[in-house]
Structure formats: C-alpha cells, structure tokens
Amino acid sequence: MIAAKSGLLRAYFHDWPLLRVSAQLMLGYLLLALLSICLFRLGNGIAVIWFANAIGIVALSRLAYQRWLLPVLALAVANLGANLFTGTPLSLSLIYLLSNLLEMLLGGFLLRRSQGEAGYFFSLSGILRLFWLGVLLPVLAGSLLAVVLLSTQVTVASLWLVLLHWIEGSAIGGATILPLAYWICLYGWRSLLGILLQKRLFALLLLAVAVAILAPMALPFPFIYMSLPLFWIAYSGGVPGVVLVNMLVSMAICVQISLGLLLPPPTIYTWGYTLFYLPILATLLPPLMLATAMDMSSSAVAALEHSERRYRSLYQHTPAMLSSCDPSGHIVSVNEVWLRTTGFHYAEVIGQEASHFLSSESARQLQQEVWPILLREGVCHNIPQQINSKSGGVVEVLMTAALERNESGSPTRLLVVQLDISDKVKAQHQAYHDALTQLPNRMLFSDRLEQACQQGNRNHENFCVIFLDLDHFKTINDDYGHELGDQLLVEVSHRLSATIRSSDTVSRLGGDEFVMLLGGLAPCEEAAQIAAKILTAVAQPCTLNGVVITISVSMGLAFYPDDGLDSVTLMRHADEAMYRAKRLGRNCFAQYTPS
C-alpha cells in the first residue's frame, strides 16, 4: 500500500509538464503578489489590489483534481514567500496564506465544475458567470476567512475595514487578471498577439494607457476619459483587446494611486473610501461586456453569412431547376440550372409570371389544378409540366413545389423544384414511336389494342382494326429513290392521322404497312364511309421534291368483337382482309370474312 502510494507520488513528481506549469505559476504568482504589495506599500493605497490569485484560479480550473497538489504547493510557497519577503509577520502571512488558498481552491473548483470554458466569452451571461464563480464568490469566502482568523488580533471596526478592503482589492485584481489569464489559457499568447497585430490595436493600447496615466493628473472625473479608449478597443478589438487593455489600465491606475496622483475624495464615513475603488470596476467591466456583445453579434453575423453562402451555393449548384415565386405567381428568383436549361437571361425572367414560361396546357393545369392543391396541402409532387425554352423547344419537367406561409397563414412564397426529364421523355417517345413518321410503333399499338380489347370486353364496346399496306410502294423507291419514298411515307402518315379522331390511333408497323384502331365502330355503313375516306385521302396526288406522286393503299378491316376477341386474332384477321383487298385489285378495302 505504502509502496503503491510512493510510486504514485514518484510518478506525480515525474510529470514534467505539471512541474513546468507549477514552476511558472509560482514565479508568476510571486511577481504579481510582490507587485501588489509594493504598490500598496509605496503610497496612498487604501486596499491591496491583489492580482495574483486570478492566475492560480485559472490554472487550477484547467487541471484535473488529482493534479492539483503540486500547483497548489507552488502557489502556497509563492504567497508565503511574497509576504515574508516584504516583511509581513509570520502569523499574518499564514492568515493571508490560508485565506488566499481558500480563494484559489474555491475559484478553481467552481470554474472547473461549471465547465464554461470558451463559452464564458461568447455571451453576457458567460462573462457574468466567470466573474461570479471565478472572482466574487471566492473573494467573499477568502475575505470572510481572513476576517475570522484576524478577529483575535484586531478590533471589530478594523475587521469591517479589512473585509471591505479585501473584497474590493481582490475583486479589482481578479476582474483585471482573470479574463486575460483565461483567454491566454484557451487560445495562447501567440493568438493574442496575432489579433492585436491583425486589428492594429497597439496604438489604441498605448492611447488607453496614456489616458489612464494623464487623465488623473490633468482632468476632473478622469475615469470618464479612461473608459473612452477602452470602449473604442471593445468596438474594434473585441474581447482579446479588452482583456489585455484592462490589465494594463488597471495597473496604471494602481500605480497612480500608489504615487498619490489619484486621491480619494473627502468623505465623512471611513468606509466611504471604499467607493474610491468602485470607478475602477465601473471603468473596466462595461467595455468587456460590450466586447463580448460585439463578438457575439459578429460571430452570429458570420454564422448567418456562412449559412447564407452555403444556401446560395446549394441553390445555384444543385442539379435541379430551382425557382421561387411571390404569391401572385411572379418569379422572384431562379438558379443557374433553370437559366441554362431554358436559355433565358436572368433579367428576362425575374418579375415575369411563372405561367408565361409554360406551355398553354401546363399553364392551365397550374392555375386550375396545381394551385388549389398547393393552397390546400402546402405541397405538390412530381407534376409533369412543359416549359417553353427561349429557342422555341420544349423542356419536359417534373415539378415539385412547396408553399411558404407567414404566421397568419397567408402564402408568402412558392418554392419550386423542376427536374428536367426531357431526355427521359424523349427516350420513352423513341421507344414507342416510329423514328420516320413519329407515329406510334408496333409496341405502342399492341398495347393500345390490348387495352381496347379489355375495355371492349368490360363495357361491351365495338371497335375496328384496319390494316393498311401501300400499293406498289417498291416502285416509288425504285423510281424516285429511297429518300423520296421516306417523304411519301411521312406524307401518308399525316393524311392518315388527319382522317381519324384524336381518340383513335394510327401506327406504322414498318415498311409501307400501317394499322389503325378506330373506337366505337361496328361493321356498318359508317365504317365503310371512313374506309372510303381514307382511300380518297391517300390517293390524292402529292408533290415531293417537285415530283407529283400518286399512291394508293389496300386495307383490311376486322371488327371487335365479331372478328376476334383478342389483339392477335384481330391483327391477323385484318391482315388477311388486307391481302384480300390486294387480290381484289388494290386501292380498295375488304372486311374480314371467315374462309
């Protein structure tokens, strides 16, 4: 057990960083304590402005409790040494030692427990907490202990003065050194010097010290003038500037007091002298509060700017078309992708109605269908739209939109995301349409025919399938070339489309073969009329490349349900009927008849 303990102690005293810190602490404490005692002894000081304890409090608050022993010993040695060295009797020195140690232990413990760390400098409540836990509470405890220990040696009246002077001297010393020591512990000397250089604060620091020295000699109410440069530094240098200048200015004031240049005003109460020190605190603390508030607001502004920049970058570089509109539907912003996709310039878009850029069908849909959904639900998802691009093309998009409302529930802004699906739509179109004529291809036609069969079965509806094959198309190719043959196929496709209703389908199966699906048609006079109309339309001469060409078509008709109940049968029977028309001499139609 003893061996283990001695091993622990050995390890403790071999902790070189801790030894170094303790030695630095002892030296720093000794110098500050000697400075305080000497300034007090020099002249007219009313209370000892005690700077030293603050560095002990800061150091202890930054160390784990199990590492406190060595630094506390170092602080005790420095405290006792400073008092004995300056001729303080041993009994008094021991009382001071115990009281100061209590201050430092309590301050270190309270600050360590509160774990405020950097947060002390980022809010007014943080600064106040730093003073309360690191300065005022420890000072109250230390001064009370001193008074209790001194009670056997001095009169009650003197005890009251000791209490007041201890509190004010330690509070001013702590308020001066503690923020600076804490700041340096957190960010380091170099950082402090870097900020001073970067913000060009040296001239202001000199000015502040000069005013602190000259004002008491030359001006009435000198603290007013002293505080002006401090506020200036708070404004331009923030917390680091103020913690440094506060230390310099308070020391300059102490020197003034010690030299008798700053005298207490006449007062009828003994304790009234205490008020002599209050202006020092009143001069030093407000600039620190201002600096904290300035740093808070500038870091809040910086955070806001940062998030604004991120938002902007996200807005501009997101791979979707983004736009927003005011409640009247006018565009207030669009991103790069929106402009690039549509080809418009920013100035051509901003302030325009969003529907101005949509196809007439999409504009109608936005007004009549989408807007009511947005008003009701606040969002809408994946609405297909067509945007008219500047070059005259159409951009197919899927729109998702969200409506922002103010606190009273009125719409304030519409945020719109549009995904360009033109390529997808194009690929889909290509998969289901004939490349030459752009008519539905065999796949799409089969699908529609399948649906027509199902619907016909469900609703007992009739329809007609017409198989068409151009007559002697090969000779057109042979006589005028393949290219002109292509043009003729396109012309025929237009004519066929023009003869049917929009609900019907005409498809090119390949070569010179076409097929039609005409809804609601039964074998009757009307079907024959339509077939005759198609024959006439195709047979009209057309001029292609200056050549007048006449072509005819042979057609086979099959009816649902009479000639087949499924798509394959209907197609086969229409094809058979077409061949019958060919056999009948072409340029005619034939209805399927079972052989």
Ligand X SMILES: Nc1nc2c(ncn2[C@@H]2O[C@H](COP(=O)(O)OP(=O)(O)OP(=O)(O)O)[C@@H](O)[C@H]2O)c(=O)[nH]1
Contacts with ligand X, residue ranges (CB under 6 A) = 436, 469-474, 477, 482, 485-486, 489, 511-512, 582
Instruction: Write down the least CB distance from residue 590 to ligand X, Å.
Output: 14
Instruction: Write down the least CB distance from residue 351 to ligand X, Å.
Output: 50
Instruction: Write down the least CB distance from residue 483 to ligand X, Å.
Output: 7
Instruction: Write down the least CB distance from residue 523 to ligand X, Å.
Output: 25
Please identify the residue of the shown chain whose CB is closest to the bound ligand X.
485
Which amino acid makes up residue 45? G
Instruction: Write down the least CB distance from residue 525 to ligand X, Å.
Output: 27
- Dist. CA 331–CA 339, nearest whole Å: 12
Instruction: Write down the least CB distance from residue 588 to ligand X, Å.
Output: 12
Closest among 287, 209, 289 to 254, alpha carbons compared: 209
- Dist. CA 240–CA 193, nearest whole Å: 9
Name the DSSP class of 64: -
- Residue closer to ligand X by CB (options 377, 479) is 479
- Residue closer to ligand X by CB (options 349, 492) is 492
Q: Return the residue matching tokens 């699908």.
A: 447
- Residue closer to ligand X by CB (options 194, 511) is 511
Instruction: Write down the least CB distance from residue 554 to ligand X, Å.
Output: 7
Outline where 318-399 has alpha helix (H).
336-342, 346-349, 360-365, 371-377
Instruction: Write down the least CB distance from residue 592 to ligand X, Å.
Output: 18
- Residue closer to ligand X by CB (options 233, 515) is 515
Task: Name, in order, each residue with C-beta under 8 angstroms of 211's C-beta and a sequence gap of 6 or more.
Answer: 225, 226, 228, 229
- Residue closer to ligand X by CB (options 352, 477) is 477
Instruction: Write down the least CB distance from residue 470 to ligand X, Å.
Output: 5
- Residue closer to ligand X by CB (options 283, 554) is 554
- Residue closer to ligand X by CB (options 266, 585) is 585
Nearest-Å Rg of the Cα atoms of the chain is 47
Q: Are 270 and 216 in contact (CB under 8 A)?
A: no
- Residue closer to ligand X by CB (options 469, 504) is 469
- Dist. CA 350–CA 417, nearest whole Å: 16
- Dist. CA 399–CA 420, nearest whole Å: 9
Instruction: Write down the least CB distance from residue 487 to ligand X, Å.
Output: 8
- Taking CA atoms, 295 is separated from 13, 199, 302, 477, 491, in Å, by 41, 14, 10, 84, 77
Side-chain half-sphere of 149: how many Cα atoms within 13 Å?
A: 17
Instruction: Write down the least CB distance from residue 431 to ligand X, Å.
Output: 18
- Taking CA atoms, 374 is separated from 332, 379, 593, in Å, by 18, 5, 56
What 3-state class would DSSP assign to 512?
coil
- Residue closer to ligand X by CB (options 357, 473) is 473
- Dist. CA 344–CA 331, nearest whole Å: 13
- Chain-centroid distance of CA 411 in Å reads 23
- Residue closer to ligand X by CB (options 183, 473) is 473
- Residue closer to ligand X by CB (options 464, 553) is 553
Instruction: Write down the least CB distance from residue 545 to ligand X, Å.
Output: 13
Name the DSSP class of 384: E
Instruction: Write down the least CB distance from residue 472 to ligand X, Å.
Output: 5
Closest among 55, 92, 100, 54 to 76, alpha carbons compared: 100
Instruction: Write down the least CB distance from residue 397 to ligand X, Å.
Output: 33
Q: Please spell the DSSP secondary structure of 292-328, one letter per residue.
A: HHHHHHHHHHHHHHHHHHHHHHHHHHSSSEEEEE-TT
Q: Please spell the DSSP secondary structure of 147-204, one letter per residue.
A: HHHHTTTS-HHHHHHHHHHHHHHHHHHHHHHHHHHHHHHHH-HHHHHHHHHHTT-HHH
- Residue closer to ligand X by CB (options 471, 575) is 471
Task: Name, in order, each residue with C-beta under 8 angstroms of 127's C-beta and a sequence gap of 6 or more.
Answer: 120, 121, 179, 288, 289, 292
- Residue closer to ligand X by CB (options 393, 511) is 511
Side-chain half-sphere of 291: how many Cα atoms within 13 Å?
A: 26
- Residue closer to ligand X by CB (options 422, 477) is 477
Neighbouring CB atoms inside 10 A of 559's CB total 22
